[in-house]
Structure 1
Amino acid sequence: MRVSGVIRYVALLITLLGTWFIVQTYFDRSWKAISLRSWLGATNKPGSRQLPRHKCGNQKSCPQNQFAFKIISGAANVVGPSICFDDMVLMSSVKNNIGRGLNIALVNGTSGQVLKVGTFDMYSGDISKLDTFLQEIKYGTFVLTASYDDAATKMNDNVRAHFVELGSSHVDKLRFRDNWIFLGAKGLKNKSPFEEHIKNDQRTNKYEGWPEMLQMEGCAPRKMD
């Protein structure tokens, strides 16, 4: 065999051995670094784990025999309110079923099924429609209420009495452009713990002519038959 042929053979052999060494080293390290969690897109970094999501986006979960809810009032006359119950948005700007005044959702207190929603213009609307709506609420029904713009101009004693019967402690104090959110129930024996009210006061208003938005979340006990 010629010397040139031997040199080429040795060079080829060295090249093959070097290539094998590089490939073996690289893939050995790479495969050791790959785990099932990596293939599934998971990671062991402490800050990379997703926090659990609770119903209605609340900060904590509710017990099995309670319903999660979140009520947000309107902001001035610009941003509309929203009502969520058991992880279902019942009323919102996106659903296009809200309006100026009071926005009310009725929910079955046992099953959690939405029964009816309604908007009532409390500035220039017909207050008798709200009066009738509240009179027809059946025993064991949750009543979720959120104000928007103005909730009190048309308010009368009959309507206030209905809300008091539902467990409200603040409806008698409600005045022009106050913000108010409330969850009560027909047949409630005590005052509802789920109510927030903020006065329209030029000295403290967050928005010109309107107080700040209100938000309330919690767990409403399921009515047992």
Structure 2
Amino acid sequence: MRLGNNKFMKLAGFVFASICAWYLGSLFAYIIPEDSLAATFDNIQKVGEKPILRAPLPKRQKCDHWSPCPPGSYAYRLLSGGGKEKMAKICFEDEQLISEEKKNAGRGINIAIVDYDTGKCTDAKYFDMWEGEFSGDMTDFIKKAPQGSLLLMVTHDDGSTKLKENAKKAIADLGSKDIQNIRFRSSWVFMAAKGFKLPDNLEKEKINHSDNKMNRYGGWPAEIQIEGCLPRNLR
């Protein structure tokens, strides 16, 4: 009899434990959301996996340079217009001196004047070289730039049709070699100093004659640029 009682007690205990386990499982399933259980299961599966190392996003540099300029230097970027819609841009020390956003970029030759000692823009204008007579105004603008100024120039659309010889000479006197070669819808960028000398190894000018009908703008000017770092101790 005692043996039979033991078996009965074990069976009853097993049934009771099974009922409790079922009840607790149902209770947890009701209380804990299904997505939390799934996430917990996924986390368990990921235990032991190698962590994925991701490189940090590159830090944005001044004027969108790929790498920072050394201490004690100015960052600059001169970008000509592209096609009919992409306006010219001039950036200096991470400030847009000429851009579509500032509403001071336009067709023709865009010029920004920067005080070299302070790095601040003192004036910025564009001169339409397709419609109207602005070559004389641009010549006066260039000649009135104070000593110790940087002059940053970029084209958008056409910068040559009504560009007169006196304006070309004023730009050539600043050191431009390509202003005499500019043609209809040439893309052109130029950086000059008035009253001091820029380093010889610095790229100061670039030109591209956009007369290729097969380019991405179908004969409209393709953008070109120069960018770099300018030492502050040149004066």
Do they superpose with TM above 0.5?
yes
> Unpaired runs of 5+ in structure 1?
20-25, 34-43
Alpha-carbon distance between aligned partners in 1 of 2:161 and 2:77, rounded to the nearest angstrom: 25
Alpha-carbon distance between aligned partners in 2 of 1:155 and 1:133, rounded to the nearest angstrom: 14
List 4+ stretches of structure 1 deviating above 6 A: 9-15
Matched, 1:193 2:200: no
> Unpaired runs of 5+ in structure 2?
1-8, 28-39
Aligned length: 207
Indicate how the Cα distance of structure 1 residues 136 and 176 shifts in structure 2: closer, same or farther if over 3 A, else same. Answer: same
Matched, 1:210 2:217: no
Matched, 1:52 2:59: yes
Cα offset for 1:85?
A: 0.6
> What's 2:161 paired with?
153
Q: Is contact 1:106–1:115 with CA below 8 Å preserved after alignment?
A: yes
Amino acid at match of 1:196: K
Alignment of 1:94-109 (within 5 A): 94-109=101-116
Alpha-carbon distance between aligned partners in 1 of 2:84 and 2:21, rounded to the nearest angstrom: 80
| 1:71 paired residue among 56, 75, 78 | 78
Alpha-carbon distance between aligned partners in 2 of 1:94 and 1:171, rounded to the nearest angstrom: 27
With the length of structure 1 as denominator, give the TM-score of the two structures: 0.76
Alpha-carbon distance between aligned partners in 1 of 2:86 and 2:223, rounded to the nearest angstrom: 9
Cα offset for 1:76?
A: 2.7
The alignment partner of 2:170 has SS state of: helix
| 1:61 paired residue among 34, 45, 68 | 68
The alignment partner of 1:111 has SS state of: coil
| Identity percentage of aligned residues | 31
> What's 2:5 paired with?
none
Indicate how the Cα distance of structure 1 residues 206 and 13 shifts in structure 2: closer, same or farther if over 3 A, else same. Answer: closer
Alignment of 1:1-225 (within 5 A): 45-123=52-130, 124-189=132-197, 193-202=203-212, 205-225=215-235
Q: Is contact 2:206–2:226 with CA below 8 Å preserved after alignment?
A: yes
Alpha-carbon distance between aligned partners in 2 of 1:108 and 1:159, rounded to the nearest angstrom: 22
Alpha-carbon distance between aligned partners in 2 of 1:181 and 1:224, rounded to the nearest angstrom: 22
Q: Is contact 2:157–2:221 with CA below 8 Å preserved after alignment?
A: no
Query: Which protein is bigger by CA-based radius of gyration?
Result: 2
Amino acid at match of 1:166: L
